[in-house]
Amino acid sequence: MDGPPGGDLCSVCHGNFDTPCQANCSHWFCGNCIMLVWHHGSAVRPCKCPLCRRPITLLVPSRASSRQLNRPEVAEILRKVERYNRVFGGHSRSLLQRAQDLPFLLRRLLRELIDPDRSLPLVIRARVWIAMIMGAAYLFSPFDFIPEAIFGIAGLLDDFFVVLIVFFHVAAIYRSVLYRRHGGS
């Protein structure tokens, strides 16, 4: 989605969204509201989502928010979001956090790959496709680190790990794109 679901309200202020931002847990908030949540807590740690309590390590403003930069209050909120992303969006904290972010990042990446109006840089797009093709080539090749013919169902573990590594790699590439696009340097 390029914005919050229709008819949905911000879970912090319980009003209509103003400068909507999507967190890495897929929940939407007003940009100012989520910044207030962060300022209310610790300034040295990312705030936790008011709905699911996961740490928010990346905030992505909606397209509509980015188009309203001529409004000073929107520009100020987006500067705060950029600063937040610079501090907390550069890297995931743990393997568990990366695994939790994976569905969010892959859904957004798939939408960007399919949407003709949103284009990723050619190099990023090529890296994503190469990673996915190499992962698929390994899965369908007769070569296996742990052969299924000898180890049975346990032989599928290497295939599972290759797919997981490919997904983590693709998500990391896309996370860096979002980070640079929305507040990184």
- Tell me, yes or no, whether 120 and 70 share the same domain: no
pLDDT in tens, 72-126: 888 899 888 888 887 787 665 677 777 777 787 777 777 777 766 666 677 777 7
Which pTM value belongs to this model?
A: 0.61
pLDDT more than 90, % of the chain: 14
Q: Report pLDDT for 14.
A: 92
Distance CA 33, CA 17 (A): 9
Q: Report pLDDT for 62.
A: 85
Domain end marker among 67, 89, 111: 89
- Tell me, yes or no, whether 97 and 184 share the same domain: yes
Between 166 and 43, the more confident residue is 166
Q: Report pLDDT for 28.
A: 93
Residue 40 belongs to domain spanning: 1-89
Domain end marker among 66, 89, 112: 89
- Tell me, yes or no, whether 100 and 41 share the same domain: no
Query: Is 97:55 a contact under the CB 8 Å cutoff?
Result: yes
- Tell me, yes or no, whether 30 and 116 share the same domain: no
Number of separate domains in the chain: 2
- Tell me, yes or no, whether 103 and 177 share the same domain: yes
Q: Report pLDDT for 129.
A: 80
- Tell me, yes or no, whether 133 and 145 share the same domain: yes
Between 165 and 104, the more confident residue is 165
- Tell me, yes or no, whether 180 and 97 share the same domain: yes
CATH number at residue 83: 3.30.40.10
Using H for helix, E for strand and C for coil, what is the string for the chain? Answer: CCCCCCCCCCCCCCCCCCCEEEECCCCEEEHHHHHHHHHHCCCCCCCECCCCCCECCCEEECHHHHHCCCCHHHHHHHHHHHHHHHHHCCCCCCHHHHHHHHHHHHHHHHHHHHCCCCCCCHHHHHHHHHHHHHHHHHHHCCCCCCCHHHHHHHHHHHHHHHHHHHHHHHHHHHHHHHHHHCCCC
